[in-house]
Amino acid sequence: MLGDPRLEQAHALSALAVAAARFFSEPSQAQAGVVREHAEACRAKAGAVRSGASRDDREEMLTVSRHLSEAAVQVGKAVEECQLFQVPAGRRLSGAFEPLCEAAQALERSFRALTRGGGQGCVDLVLDAKRHCQQASRLASEAVKQALEMPNTVDSIKFKETFVRFSRSADEIHQAADLIGELAAVKND
């Protein structure tokens, strides 16, 4: 059912999250380029959502789309800054990013369920996405605290800013999941 711009944007965010997870595991110029392409694709899908939203849920879908676009921006900037400022990637970053990747994938599945009529399956997937977002935010907050305790101030700032981007992205995905849950509840009534 790709063809629905809402689902395409959710899929693009999910693909972006997977690409970013690969980057944070094993950073490379090539992988950063893949992340950039996926981030641009996710933001580009927002235009299609604007033109394709039905009157019934237009406002909600545009808001969800904005949250997905902003999540993509934050993930893209985290990768860009990590590369630019030579933040050493590896287990510390990939471990903190993993729940965010799972949240984006659960959000895509919830969108797919919503486009198929909603139901309890959609609500369960929304809750799964929100749970992963909360886990990502918690890990990012813990990592920020650890970064602030680093003896090297420059490294501390580099890590802190990367984890702040993770947290912002998790917040955006969480807000999108809230709206998808509301839309699913309306469809279930």
What CATH number did the domain enclosing 83 receive?
1.20.58.220
Q: What is the pLDDT of residue 119?
A: 75
**Mean per-residue pLDDT of the chain:** 88
Judge whether residue 112 has pLDDT over 50: yes
pTM, rounded to two decimals:
0.89
Q: When comparing pLDDT for 117 and 77, which is higher?
A: 77
Q: Residue 94 CB: number of other CB atoms within 10 A?
A: 18
Q: In terms of residue numbers, what domain contains 147? A: 5-188
What does the alpha-carbon distance between residue 178 and residue 64 come to, in Å, rounded to a whole number?
A: 9
Residues 24-65 have pLDDT tens digits of 998 899 999 999 999 999 988 887 777 665 666 678 888 999
Q: Residue 63 CB: number of other CB atoms within 10 A?
A: 15
- The half-sphere exposure of 144 on its side-chain side, counting CA atoms within 13 A, is 15
The one-letter amino acid code at 170 reads: A
- Count of domains forming the chain: 1
Burial category of 43 from C-beta neighbours within 10 Å (exposed 0-12, middle 13-18, buried 19 and up): buried
Q: Are 107 and 173 in contact (CB under 8 A)?
A: yes
∠ Cα 31 139 68 (to 5°): 55
Q: What is the DSSP letter of 88?
A: -
Q: What is the pLDDT of residue 153?
A: 86
Assign 1 a pLDDT band (cuts: 50, 70, 90). very low
Q: When comparing pLDDT for 170 and 147, which is higher?
A: 170
Least confident of 27-31, 92-96, 106-110: 92-96
Q: What is the pLDDT of residue 53?
A: 58
Which residues does 184 contact at the CB level (< 8 Å), separation at least 6?
Answer: 110, 113, 114, 118, 119, 122, 123, 126
Q: Are 15 and 43 in contact (CB under 8 A)?
A: no
